[in-house]
Structure 1
Amino acid sequence: MNWPSHGSNPQHLFKSMGLSLPDKYIDFSANINPIGPPSVLKEKWNDFYQEINVYPDPFAEQLKSRIVESEQISDDSILIGNGGAELITLVARFLTGKKVIVVEPTFSEYEKACRANHCEIQYHQLKEPNFALSMDELHPKLPSADALFLCNPNNPTGIQYSVSTILSIIEECEKQNCFVILDEAFYDFLIDYHSFIPYINRFSNLIIIRSMTKMFAIPGLRLGYAAAPPNIIAELSTLQPHWSINTIALLAGDLCLQNKKFIKQTQVYIWEERERLLTFFMKKHFVITPSQVNFYLLRDPCLKNQFSFFEFLLHKGIIPRHTFNFPGLEGNWLRFAIKSKEENSKLMEVLLEWRQLH
């Protein structure tokens, strides 16, 4: 079956399964902020309209200044991009023809972009159910690699790796002349995340990718940034199309980054809802990953293959993210985003119905 490669756009999933999209459904497959965009964007939307006849700043100086102020790094260490996806594509072009390790399970776009640029891909597969990342197991693969992709917190498991583990990987990779591409797309959903951006001043091989579409629920605008040593940023920028980021995205991003209260509100909400869901899952004997962000993997341990469970949920208007295109998962888990309290309660209601039947 030709499974969709991303969450969201559920019409493509239902089409691939030969089903009709129901009139009412809840899409748990897209892991963006359930609170929605900051209200200031709606308040300023008419002001944005006044700017659509103006070419965007190709250097994104205003937004870049906001990030520089927040992260305490130089402006030549930042590259603004059209979402994390564009930045991943730019990094893959930077690595054209190189040997790349992808720590799995993870976001499929790393492999897709690297293969499009003729990279040689090697998996480093983490083992369920805890998906622990061990430097001892990874170490033997590094001498033959030019780059390593690592997502922290991980998508799709939601697991955050320890600071000591990641630092040991970066240090060893630097000794082996191997770049580390650290995707921090979901870092701001964590209350106490240890940022690795300061380490770009210490390590010459570190490239960090951040998305702004997840926390601020603006996937339709597309916005993100990369942080890396200036020489790497300079090379990545030569690969980026001109006018890559539109004016409205730049203005919206600047407003979003000023909204610290919104970020804290989101973090607290996600923590509370995740705890409520976890209590229910444990009580009803579902297995989930030890996620610390706004999504998690779940499975029914009574089933080896989760397809019948997946199909049941779709018929009930509950749309999780399938895992058929995550190497090492092969459909044996389902990924759910944390949604509104009402929507999460509906999920629990449907799971209770499933449990009563099985």
Structure 2
Amino acid sequence: MTADLLDELLHRVLPVLVFLVGITVVAELSEVAGVFEVASSTAARWARGRVWVLWALVVLLATACTVVLSLDTTAVLLTPVVLTLASRLKVSTAAFAMTTVWLANTASLLLPVSNLTNLLSLHRMQQLGVGIGGYVRLTWLPALVAVLVTVLVLGVLFRRDLVGHYEIAPPRVPHDRVLLVTSATVCLLLGPAFVTGVNVAWPASGAALLLVVVFLWRDRSRLGWALLPWRAVVVVTVLFTIVFVLGRWGLSDLLAAASGVGEGFPAYLRLAGTAALAANVIDNLPAYLALEPAAGDSPARLVAVLIGVNCGPLLTFWASLATLLWRERCRARGIAVRWWVFALRGLLLVPLLLVCCTAALAVVA
């Protein structure tokens, strides 16, 4: 590997990896403190036994979790809590499982921290003179449309499962209220911190350090090296390295030719469609890197790539790291997810998302 390629790789990947480690520690310790358990139990009480209201509150919780703490947090930590809640209340686990994995992907457009692909795009956005404010200006409407379309399709698919009532379970008492309040406050403050314009690795790392200090004081037995996402760091690093090398060998040129050129709805849709297809074949992170040159000097075309790699990876299990992690959480709860059912449902949603989100992008671009 040449020195300039290594320097570019470190410059692009290192901040992403630092953010990944920091936000994972925050999410893991927040889960230990009971933030997700209390949030879901509170939603169950607020719904007052109505299944559709509970589902709507889970939609809000999954969307907020994805936007602020990233799609991997929703897939890894919120999914088992929601599945346990659904099983305890004897409501459809399939409906709630599909809600978490779909929203983990489709709700990840709004902020740079919502998806690692978004973080990667910031480097190019800054080169094009677009800061976080400009990024949000281009993504807010496609992000809103992505969530609304996802919820609409989920509501139609699981309309029979979302009627009826359940018995309200007694609330779970957190083992340490100080840890719960501190962790919840940190999670709430991260959202505003991530849109201040500073490198997102800093607030994520600071939040992780703060929670580690608090846990050292209150419950140090919960701390350990297992909190760090070693496997994810290795996987992401290997994927980035492979795609950087393949990009130099012509992969980016091939995908650029398939993506076309130009601005406007048809051009954005073609680019987003190519990105979605690539994500389902080779995973969304390398797909983004390979397709970034196809966006040229257009921030709007870059967002079209993000629409494809964020909202498109719903046809194969390996299309995004979050989907793989979600599948493992389902398996751990004894829930079998058949690949062809997952793919067929994705075929209903993904084309709608690509059309509606790129149309929204054409409006704001």
User: Shorter-chain TM-score category?
Assistant: under 0.3
Q: TM-score, normalised on structure 1?
A: 0.26
If each structure's helix is expressed as a fraction of its own residues, which one has the higher value? Answer: 2
Q: TM-score, normalised by structure 2?
A: 0.25
Larger fraction in strand: 1
